[in-house]
Chains A and B, each alone.
Chain A
Amino acid sequence: MIQLPYERPFIQKLNTGSMNKFGTKTEFAPVTHLESVAVSKIIEEYGSPCFVISERQIRKNYQNAVRAFKTRYPKIQYAWSYKTNYLSAVCNVFHQEGSWAEVVSIFEYNKAIQNGVDGSKIIFNGPDKSENDLALAVKNKSMIHIDHFDELYMLVALLEGTDQKAKVAIRVNMDTGIYPMWDRFGFNYENGQAWNAIIKILAHKELELVGLHCHIGTFMLSTSAYATAAYKLCDLAINIKSKYGLAIQYLDLGGGFASSNTLKGSYLQGADIIPSVDDYAEAITSTVLNSSFNKDELPTIILESGRVLIDDAAWLIGTVVATKRLSDGRRATIMDFGVNLLFNAFWYDYKISPAQEFTHHTEDMVIYGPLCMNIDCIRENINLPLLNKGDQVVVHKVGAYNMTQWMQFIQMRPKIVLIDMNGKTHILRENESLETMIELERMPDHLKNINSKV
């Protein structure tokens, strides 16, 4: 007798007429290949779980973002926000495309230098720059974005009595109608603090005020907030020109454009509600073009976009460890990846697809990771086919912040693989091993032997 293929028994109550709070059922179409490479083959070769990055998608995102602004405004420069994903190979794709570097620590700064970025094309943001950090940035002619008065005075003290000059901008925070307001970084616009900082900078000849910077938040769903931000930066720049005769060279609008992920608690799929880069570009460029800059003194617009350029260029692929039934009857699926690798699962409802064909039956389930802690939950509600131990899945749009905010806790971090423009795969980062983990540990002599208590 020919045996039939087996699928575990499944029964589901039919609720006619009630709303489905699990959203549209688009998730269970299988994704067996990433670009032209089979998921099963990647796992066979590189292990599970594994991050996979698409070079093609990064370049496409970047070129699209540049086009959105360049078709509307003559002077545009992107600076890749290192914290979003500072794998050197990823950074270098952006740098090959013409992007500068935006860094917020000396670690990121040195990484950019090591990647070959010219010091004058590095924007140094962040509240924590030491005197040594500043000295290096001054020497390299990097753009120093001052975050607070302590930093301003430290920089002045550092340059006093030397003939060096620093290229600086200030970070401005402001009310753009968005709550919560990110007022902990930089100088406030509304209460006059930003103007005050500008006056202080202009009073020091060793400081050259080249730009004005803001970063109004992340995953911003409102384009009008950018119009407001651009308006306030233009206002400061035009005042500087009229009172001091100085033409500001650039306005840096920061990052914050939303990627097409779905925020937790949102009933609509991310892709249905987020603005496009063109929408953001229209809000920003039309505001700047409508300001009263002289034609030949239009400032360059700098953008420090992170997640919108990389989120959809990476996947995490993994394997089902076990399935079980919770006390309230819900099914739980345990994966070999958890919040240790997907830190952003705290904010996003990541789309997850099976990587093999199934029948049309699906069930609602919770997806947990492998950590022994309660918060290790990737999706609280998701509708997927009848997954079994050993089945493979694809988590979509994981490129931003996960490969930098991942934590080494209980499990070690896996490989990161790139699919290049020709469909060839390359390891970008090896998996951690016991050796990597203990390399930095030191053992006092008297603790080396566990059988000799002193």
Chain B
Amino acid sequence: MQINKNIAISESGFIFNPSNGDSFSTNQVGLEIIRLLKDDKGKSEIVSELVNKFQTDSATLEKDLGDFFLMLRNFQLLNE
């Protein structure tokens, strides 16, 4: 699982994929996950980072990450 490394990310959650011109907006948690993916972090590392940083628990995060990865794949931002 690898994020498309070419994508540009702005502080405000704007994402641009230069390979096809698609652009996206994401929220703060989404932005954090994409940054961690760019740093080659795996799912379990992402969960533990986010549990520390946000008011949530790992069960909620596991569920939400699964859904978020699905959308990233859908938008061709994530390669298997």
Complex: chain B residue closest to A13, CB-CB: B24
Across-interface contacts of A5 in B (CB, < 8 A): 54-55
Also in contact, A11 and B29, with CB within 8 A (given A4-B53, A6-B55): no
Decide: B68 and A6 in contact? CB cutoff 8 A.
no
Decide: B26 and A4 in contact? CB cutoff 8 A.
no
Complex: chain B residue closest to A361, CB-CB: B27
Give the total of B residues in contact with A, Cβ under 8 Å.
Answer: 27
Across-interface contacts of A179 in B (CB, < 8 A): none
Decide: A4 and B75 in contact? CB cutoff 8 A.
no
Contact with B along A187-218 (1 / 0, CB 8 A): 00000000000000000000000000000000
**Which listed residue (B25, B33, B75, B77) contacts A9, Cβ 8 A?**
B33
Across-interface contacts of A452 in B (CB, < 8 A): none
Q: Chain A's interface: helix, strand, loop or mixed, by majority? A: loop
Decide: B29 and A8 in contact? CB cutoff 8 A.
yes
Decide: B26 and A11 in contact? CB cutoff 8 A.
yes
- A50 to B77 Cα, complex, angstroms: 43
Decide: A10 and B55 in contact? CB cutoff 8 A.
no
Across-interface contacts of A12 in B (CB, < 8 A): 24-26
- A325 to B70 Cα, complex, angstroms: 9
Decide: B28 and A7 in contact? CB cutoff 8 A.
yes
- Flag whether A294 is at the interface (Cβ < 8 A): no
Contact with B along A101-123 (1 / 0, CB 8 A): 00000000000000000000000
Contact with A along B47-77 (1 / 0, CB 8 A): 0000011111000100011011011101101
Decide: A11 and B54 in contact? CB cutoff 8 A.
no
- A1 to B53 Cα, complex, angstroms: 8
- A123 to B33 Cα, complex, angstroms: 66
Also in contact, A9 and B30, with CB within 8 A (given A1-B52, A3-B53, A3-B54): yes
Q: How far is the CB of A358 from chain B (nearest CB, A)?
A: 10
Decide: B72 and A11 in contact? CB cutoff 8 A.
yes
Decide: B30 and A10 in contact? CB cutoff 8 A.
yes
**Which listed residue (A1, A4, A11) contacts B25, Cβ 8 A?**
A11
